Structure 1
Amino acid sequence: MRRLLDRLYAAAEFLAAVSLIGVLLTVLLSIVSRQLSFHVSGLDAYAGYLMASAGFFALASTLRHGEHIRVTLVLNALSPNAQRKLDIGAMTVGLAVALSLAIFSSKLVMDSWMFNDISTSNDATPLWIPQLTMAAGNILFVVAFIDLLVARIRGQAMMVDSQEPQRNE
């Protein structure tokens, strides 16, 4: 199960990176097209969709690497048992927030698909397509929270894969 989850997080990292490269390419194409006096409609919208996609796909991996903001000033002042209890409480609240985001973003995708919502810009993209990346990223975020919460309940510390010192004060 651990390998499956790690592969899932790695795939989301890869999709976030590809999305960022897509943002770069759409912005570069927009600049070049302006300089060469031709227009590619919808580039601004696609850059925005790709930026949102990158952010949502990166949520789970960022959580697993311990890179989300944590207030360690309070945690460091507590005993290890109190730290564990506070971590579990905070992760439970985080899981509830992530779960509500996943539910409502999935509902938004379904509504956009059912009502055939399209972008108001020139590209007229069906909105469920870019919204799907938001829902998928939020669902994976829920999975990462459950993964960390179960590990913390079992007594394991927060997983930090990064070789850099944490910058989460």
Structure 2
Amino acid sequence: MAALRKFLDYLYIAAGALAAICLVAILVLIVAQMVARWSGGVFPGAASYAGYAMAGASFLAFANALNRGAHIRVSILLNALPAGPKRLLEVWCFALAAAVAWYFTYYAYWFVYWSWKFKEVSQDQDATALWIPQSVMVVGGGLLAIALTDNLLHVIFKGNHRITRDTVDEGFEV
């Protein structure tokens, strides 16, 4: 189990690092497009590539953000409940969220499959095969589903979730 735990933690961190790389790619693409305009040139498809990188950054960051407490969780009710009902409510919340994430990932997979099968391409100047940027949506959704299931199992078997609070959030407590 320790090896699986280590692998999952590495997977979440790696996805977060890839999301950060996507953000840097957005910056590079926008600067390259600006330089092209200033020099009288054209960078066709830069806006589309930046959009793909933004989607990649969003979806790849989901699992890492969940485990670092960066997702919005309304904890007012949870903090007001005693331990037993709190645990049941957390199980229900994680189970529902995991089910929705797995549902999304399943249908996102088929969305990508049919884009690949029909050889769909972007309508912009880049004419990118759409299954390529759409695949990141499946990977990110799958990682989020795994992270939610991981937290669900942790609540069921250990009694608490694995979500930690960022130190930035802790600095603003009153």
After TM superposition, give the deviation of residue 164 of structure 1 in Å: 3.2
- Identity within the alignment, %: 36
Give the 3-state SS of the residue equivalent to 1:121 in structure 2.
coil
Question: Residue deviations 1:84-135, cap 9 Å, x none?
Answer: 1111101111011101110111111100100000000011000000001110
After TM superposition, give the deviation of residue 157 of structure 1 in Å: 2.2
Relative to the length of structure 2, the TM-score reads 0.92
Which segments of 5 or more consecutive residues in structure 1 lack a partner in the other structure? none
Number of equivalenced pairs: 167
Map of 2:168 onto structure 1: 164
Q: Is 1:150 matched up with 2:153?
A: yes
Q: Is 1:68 matched up with 2:66?
A: no
CA contact (8 A) 2:70 2:165 kept: no
CA contact (8 A) 1:84 1:155 kept: no
Give 1:68's aligned amino acid.
Answer: H
Map of 1:57 onto structure 2: 60
Give 1:128's aligned amino acid.
Answer: W
CA contact (8 A) 1:60 1:141 kept: yes
Question: Residue deviations 1:124-157, cap 9 Å, x none?
Answer: 0000000011100001111101110000101342
Which segments of 5 or more consecutive residues in structure 2 lack a partner in the other structure? none
Residue of structure 1 aligned with 2:138, choices 131, 135, 152: 135
After TM superposition, give the deviation of residue 161 of structure 1 in Å: 5.7
**For residues 83 and 67 of structure 1, what CA distance do their matches in structure 2 show?**
21
Residue of structure 2 aligned with 1:15, choices 1, 18, 28: 18
Deviates more, 1:67-76 or 1:110-119: 67-76
Moved over 6 A (4+): none
Relative to the length of structure 1, the TM-score reads 0.94
**For residues 131 and 112 of structure 1, what CA distance do their matches in structure 2 show?**
9
RMSD: 1.3
Give the 3-state SS of the residue equivalent to 2:73 in structure 1.
coil
Superposition pairs of residues 31-50 of structure 1, within 5 angstroms: 31-50=34-53
